[in-house]
Amino acid sequence: MSDRVTFADGIGGIGFIAHTLRIDLVRFDPTQKEEDGSPARVPCHTLVLTETGFLELLNALQQTHQRLVSLQGQAQPAAAPAAPAAPQTAVSPNFPTP
């Protein structure tokens, strides 16, 4: 089953060619470096989808996004904004208050 799993660190590019969507997946390669010294992003796989397959993927991603937003809202309820604190003036026995 492990041969059916692909790990990717990100997306290198997306193109639409001949009625198919092509998503290039990339991974970080610690043996190759970018100019700034960070691990290089190297292509690892390409996901090819028909137009229908892409629409199914898009729908599934939108549903997943909605669930994540909903779960985040349940886990961390939004707190009401705090009322601004009234400015406080310093009180000194040496100076009478008006």
Domain layout of the chain by residue ranges: 2-63
Asked if 44 and 8 count as a contact pair (C-beta separation under 8 A), the reply is yes
10-residue mean pLDDT profile of the chain (98 residues): values are 80 93 95 91 94 95 94 66 52 51
| pTM of full prediction above 0.85 | no
Determine the pLDDT at residue 74. 73
Question: Strand 10-17 and strand 39-50: pairing?
Answer: unpaired
Determine the pLDDT at residue 46. 94
- Residue 72 sits at φ, ψ, to 5 deg, of -65, -40
Determine the pLDDT at residue 1. 47
For the segment 52-70, what is each residue's pLDDT rounded down to a tens digit? 999 999 999 999 999 999 9
